[in-house]
Amino acid sequence: MKAPAFPGPADTALPRRAGVGFKPRHWPAIDRGDPDVGFFEVHAENYMGAGGPPHRMLESLRSRWPLSLHGVGLSIGGEGRLDSEHLMRLRQLIDRYQPAGFSEHLAWSSHGGIFYNDLLPLPYNAGTLSRVAAHIDQAQTALGRRLLLENPSAYIAFAEATMGEIEFLTDIAERTGCGLLLDVNNVYVSAVNQGFDAAAYLDAFPLHLVGKIHLAGHATETGPEGRRLLIDAHDRPMDDAVRALYARLVARTGPLPTLIEWDNAVPAFHMLLAEAEAADRIMRTAEAPRHAVAG
Amino acid sequence: MPSPAETEAAMAAALLDPAEPGPADARFAVHRNNVLVGLVDALGETFPAVRALVGEEFFRAAGAAFVRAHPPESPVLILWGGAFPDWIAAFPPAAGVPYLGDVARLEWAWTEAYNAAEATPLAAPALAAVPGERLPDMRLVLHPAVRLVASRFPVASLWADVTGRETGLRPELAQAETALVSRPYDVVSVRAIPTASAAFLSALAGGHTLGAAAAAGTAEPGFDLAAEITALFQAGLVAALATETPGVDHGPLG
């Protein structure tokens, strides 16, 4: 096996605090209020126009807070070749804004020249493992930095899967040197939808590879056969069950860069800030006993 | 057992085509819904005035038909939807709203202006430095955000009405308007301009010389060249002066 091009622990230049997803409609409140948040995260694809207000806002944001860049369109989990034009656009954005971190998804979103704007799942087996690893190698080389790969929300199950998600993610990270973005809400959504234990999943997760956490709210629907079906909707505060899983997690890891995602039914900025403050409090609580032991 | 490529192809085929079976797992409906709802929402963000004019229910149905006909080919969704104005103008159920295509064209021009490359608007003295006899051969390079949307309907007034930038006047549908869209700094501006100004500006936008553009403006009633040029610089619409490509320009009127 060849040595990873981007070795090293999953350290991150992002502060070990809570950050929030940036929405342009919040810019006046952010610009005036100068909020004390750890970082802002933006979706890379929203800043791929030539110029205009998006870049003007991002420049100002970047000069005042650490920035995390999150891609939603690279289709790393896809069967086809990575879109080299898209990689070039990402590279330009990274060169221009020098974000503290870049992350993408273990999913596909493009097929046959069409972009579906959804994070679509893939079966986990030896074939998809080498394909995803090759895509990450290519992306990390093109972007000149390591990326964090995010665990998806799962709805459907695949008969052809031969590996578990944790084994798959760990192997990918070992082969490519990439880090992992652990989305605790996605873990909970997948656990309910596919009938596994979210706490046990987190206990088994390779936490030393985690460079960032995502937290979000989900919707509850009724799926086939009347079973509970959770949807990764990002349209409300995080669920109590997700909050509890997060508290349990950071009690083990200590504080980690933690993003509050809220992309639909976006509330006033102070609501996002309140979610971030809640995550910061959970991290401080988790930290306290360690200090007591160390002191 | 299907190969990963077969699995993905079967899913992709079923995402926008209800006739395709897709995976056996009934929860695949979540992805079908995500794709359609997400793309129609993205379209609605780019075309809020069209959405308001036809109402949510009609927009969702029309949007779904458009998504199936013209799905995005790039993950840069902020730049997707350029085909929508012509498509909605020819969409038979929307035939009762004849100005819909033009309002959509204006919204697409707005999006292009919003995302256009930056350029520092030139100040008027730049032109004053040009010797008078050379002025007719000058080309005024317009700011990259400048767009003109000509319509046989009062497109700028309709747009202002629908998006809440009320003019206080009810648009008279029989009245034609050309909308000038620009963004010299960080705010997109949309306003209706007189026919003569529209003729002058379209000529400049088409790369014609100042002399040829002035001739195009003069062909319309009420044209005042000096006032047009002053207004052009004041609005920050000129990015550069060009003197290259000398020669005879017969102008847009031929």
**Same-domain status, B125 and B91:** no
Report the C-alpha gap between B30 and B116 in whole angstroms.
35
Q: Compute the average pLDDT of residues A81-108.
A: 97
Q: Sorting pLDDT into bands at 50, 70 and 90, what band is A289?
A: low
Kindly report the pTM of this predicted structure: 0.93
Q: Sorting pLDDT into bands at 50, 70 and 90, what band is A10?
A: very low
Query: DSSP secondary-structure letter at A79?
Result: S
Model confidence at A12: pLDDT above 70: no
Model confidence at A3: pLDDT above 50: no
**Same-domain status, B88 and B140:** no
Give a yes or no: residue B106 inside a domain: no
Give a yes or no: residue B192 inside a domain: yes
pLDDT at residue A294, rounded to an integer: 38
Report the C-alpha gap between A174 and A148 in whole angstroms.
13
At which of B30, B63, B97 does a domain end? B97
Residue B48 token pair: 């809020």
Residues 43-62 of A with CB under 8 A from B: 45-46, 48-56
For residue range A35-86, what is the model confidence (pLDDT) as tens digits? 999 999 999 999 999 999 999 999 999 999 999 999 999 999 999 999 999 9
Query: DSSP secondary-structure letter at A200?
Result: H
Residue B110 token pair: 């707005």
Q: Check if A219 contacts B (Cβ < 8 Å).
A: no
Which residue range(s) make up the domain with B164?
Answer: 117-254
Packing angle, helices B195-205 and B210-218, rounded to 10: 150
Report the C-alpha gap between A34 and B105 in whole angstroms.
38
CB contact under 8 A, A112 and B74: no
**Same-domain status, B91 and B121:** no
Give a yes or no: residue B108 inside a domain: no
Q: Which residues have a Cβ under 8 Å from the Cβ of A283 and sit 6 or more positions away?
A: A16, A17, A18, A250, A254, A255, A256, A258
**Same-domain status, B12 and B92:** yes
Give a yes or no: residue B223 inside a domain: yes
CB contact under 8 A, B72 and A114: yes
Q: Which residues of B touch A127 (CB under 8 A)?
A: 3-4
Q: State which residue of chain A sits closest to B112, comparing Cα positions.
A: A49
Q: Which candidate in A115, A158, A220 is best for mutational testing of the B interface (most B CBs within 10 A)?
A: A115
Give a yes or no: residue B248 inside a domain: yes
* Three-state secondary structure readout of chain B: CCCHHHHHHHHHHHHCCCCCCCCCCHHHHHHHHHHHHHHHHHHHHHCHHHHHHHCHHHHHHHHHHHHHHCCCCCCCHHHCCCCHHHHHHCCHHHCCCCCHHHHHHHHHHHHHHHHCCCCCCCCCHHHHCCCHHHHHHCEEEECCCCEEEEECCCHHHHHHHHCCCCCCCCCCCCCCEEEEEECCCCCCEEEEECHHHHHHHHHHHCCCCHHHHHHHHHCCCCCCHHHHHHHHHHCCCEEEEECCCCCCCCCCCC
Q: Which residues of B touch A73 (CB under 8 A)?
A: 74-76
Looking at the structure of chain B, the number of domains it has is 2
Could you report the average pLDDT of every consecutive run of 10 residues in chain B (254 residues)? 89 96 93 97 98 97 98 98 98 96 98 98 88 92 98 95 74 87 96 96 96 97 95 96 67 60
Using alpha carbons only, give the angle B75, A97, B81 rounded to the nearest 5 degrees.
25
Q: Which of A7-16, A147-156, A277-286, B6-15 has the lowest mean pLDDT?
A: A7-16
pLDDT at residue B187, rounded to an integer: 95
Smallest CA–CA distance, residue A209 to chain B, in Å, is 27
Return the domain boundaries, chain A: 18-294
Buried b (16+ CB within 10 A) or exposed e, A24-33: eebbeebeee
**Same-domain status, B40 and B132:** no
- Mean pLDDT (chain A) is 93
**Same-domain status, B138 and B174:** yes
Report the C-alpha gap between B179 and B103 in whole angstroms.
10
Q: Which residues of A touch B116 (CB under 8 A)?
A: 49-52
Specify the 3-state DSSP secondary structure of A134. Answer: helix
Q: Sorting pLDDT into bands at 50, 70 and 90, what band is A287?
A: confident
**Same-domain status, B152 and B90:** no
Q: Which residues of B touch A51 (CB under 8 A)?
A: 115-118, 144
Model confidence at A1: pLDDT above 60: no
Model confidence at A25: pLDDT above 50: yes
CB contact under 8 A, A52 and B115: yes
pLDDT at residue B167, rounded to an integer: 60
Residues 48-77 of B with CB under 8 A from A: 71-77
Q: Check if B9 contacts A (Cβ < 8 Å).
A: yes
User: Does residue A168 contact residue A198 with C-beta atoms inside 8 Å?
Assistant: no
On whether ipTM exceeds 0.95, the answer is no
Smallest CA–CA distance, residue B12 to chain A, in Å, is 7
**Same-domain status, B132 and B247:** yes
Give a yes or no: residue B103 inside a domain: no
Q: Compute the average pLDDT of residues A91-119.
A: 97
CATH architecture under which domain A18-294 falls: Alpha-Beta Barrel (3.20)
pLDDT at residue A127, rounded to an integer: 95
Q: Which residues of B touch A133 (CB under 8 A)?
A: none
pLDDT at residue B199, rounded to an integer: 97
pLDDT at residue A250, rounded to an integer: 96
Give a yes or no: residue B128 inside a domain: yes
